[in-house]
Structure 1
Amino acid sequence: MEIPGKEFYNRLDIDSVLTAVEDAGFPVSGHCLALNSLENRVYDVGLEEGGRLVVKFYRPARWTLHQILEEHSFLKELEEAEIPVIAPLPLENGVTVRETKGIYYTLWPLQKGRLVEELTEENLPILGRLLARIHNIGSSKPSQHRLNLDLKNFGEEPLRFLQEKAFLPKFLQARHEAACKQIFNRYTEVSKSIPLHRIHGDCHKGNLIHTKDGFCFIDFDDFVTGPAVQDFWMLLPFGDSRSDYERELFLSGYKEFREFSDTWFDLVEPLRGLRYIHYSAWIAKRWEDPSFPNAFPHFGTDEYWEKETTDLERLAFQLPQSTEERSPASRSEESELTNKDFFWDLE
Structure 2
Amino acid sequence: MADSAHPYDDLTPDTLLDAIESAGYIANGRIFPLNSYENRVYQVGIEDDSPLIAKFYRPTRWTRKQIEEEHTFSHELEAAEIPVISPTVMPNGTSLGEHAGFLFAVFAQRGGQAPDTSETDMLWRLGQWLGQMHNIGARQPFRHRPAFDLIGGLVRESDYLTRNGWIPDDLRPAWDSLIPDLIEHCRQRIDDAGPIETVRLHGDCHGGNILVREERMLFVDLDDCRQGPAIQDLWLLLNGDDTERSQQFTELLEGYETFRDFNRRERYLIEPLRCFRQMTHAAWLARRWDDPAFPRFFPWFARQRFWSDLLLSLREQLGALQAPPINVIGQF
TM-score by length of structure 2 reads: 0.89
Deviations 1:15-52 (A, max 9, x none): 32222111111101222111111111000111101211
1:70 aligns with 2:69: yes
Task: State the alpha-carbon separation in 2 of the partners of residues 132 and 120 from structure 1.
Answer: 19
Return 5+ residue gaps in structure 2 as ranges.
Answer: 323-332
Change (3 A) 1:8 1:305: closer
**Equivalent position amino acid for 2:224 in 1:** D
**Equivalent position amino acid for 1:250 in 2:** L
Correspondence for 2:306 among 293, 304, 307? 304
Correspondence for 2:286 among 265, 284, 290? 284
Describe the SS at the equivalent of 1:99. Answer: strand
Percent of aligned pairs sharing the same letter: 36
Task: State the alpha-carbon separation in 2 of the partners of residues 177 and 79 from structure 1.
Answer: 46
Residue in 1 aligned with 2:262? 260
1:53 aligns with 2:55: no
Change (3 A) 1:276 1:43: same
Residue in 2 aligned with 1:273? 275
User: CA shift at 1:164, angstroms?
Assistant: 1.3
Residue in 2 aligned with 1:102? 101
Task: State the alpha-carbon separation in 2 of the partners of residues 72 and 88 from structure 1.
Answer: 6
Task: State the alpha-carbon separation in 2 of the partners of residues 220 and 121 from structure 1.
Answer: 25
**Equivalent position amino acid for 2:308 in 1:** E
Deviations 1:217-270 (A, max 9, x none): 100000111111111121122533233222211110101111113332221111
Describe the SS at the equivalent of 1:115. Answer: coil
Q: 1:5, 1:60 within 8 Å by CA — same for their partners in 2?
A: no
Which is worse superposed, 226-235 or 153-162? 153-162
Task: State the alpha-carbon separation in 2 of the partners of residues 249 and 64 from structure 1.
Answer: 38
Task: State the alpha-carbon separation in 1 of the partners of residues 2 and 228 from structure 2.
Answer: 29
Describe the SS at the equivalent of 1:94. Answer: coil
Which is worse superposed, 210-219 or 282-291? 210-219
Which is worse superposed, 41-50 or 144-153? 144-153
Describe the SS at the equivalent of 2:120. Answer: coil
**Equivalent position amino acid for 2:318 in 1:** A
Residue in 2 aligned with 1:167? 166
Change (3 A) 1:5 1:236: farther
Task: State the alpha-carbon separation in 1 of the partners of residues 114 and 73 from structure 2.
Answer: 23
Change (3 A) 1:70 1:182: same
User: CA shift at 1:204, angstroms?
Assistant: 0.5
User: CA shift at 1:318, angstroms?
Assistant: 4.0
Which is worse superposed, 84-93 or 217-226? 84-93
1:237 aligns with 2:239: yes
Counterparts of residues 197-346 of structure 1 (less than 5 Å): 197-211=199-213, 214-237=216-239, 239-318=241-320
Task: State the alpha-carbon separation in 1 of the partners of residues 307 and 291 from structure 2.
Answer: 21
User: CA shift at 1:91, angstroms?
Assistant: 2.9
Residue in 2 aligned with 1:30? 29
**Equivalent position amino acid for 2:63 in 1:** T
Residue in 1 aligned with 2:85? 86
Describe the SS at the equivalent of 1:114. Answer: coil
Describe the SS at the equivalent of 1:166. Answer: coil
Which is worse superposed, 240-249 or 225-234? 240-249
> Number of aligned pairs?
319
Describe the SS at the equivalent of 1:161. Answer: helix
Which is worse superposed, 26-35 or 188-197? 188-197
**Equivalent position amino acid for 2:234 in 1:** F
Describe the SS at the equivalent of 1:216. Answer: strand
Which is worse superposed, 299-308 or 237-246? 237-246
Q: 1:6, 1:60 within 8 Å by CA — same for their partners in 2?
A: no
User: CA shift at 1:180, angstroms?
Assistant: 2.5
Describe the SS at the equivalent of 1:44. Answer: strand
User: CA shift at 1:289, angstroms?
Assistant: 0.6
Change (3 A) 1:190 1:170: same
Describe the SS at the equivalent of 2:299. Answer: coil
Change (3 A) 1:213 1:17: farther
User: CA shift at 1:159, angstroms?
Assistant: 1.4
Describe the SS at the equivalent of 2:55. Answer: strand
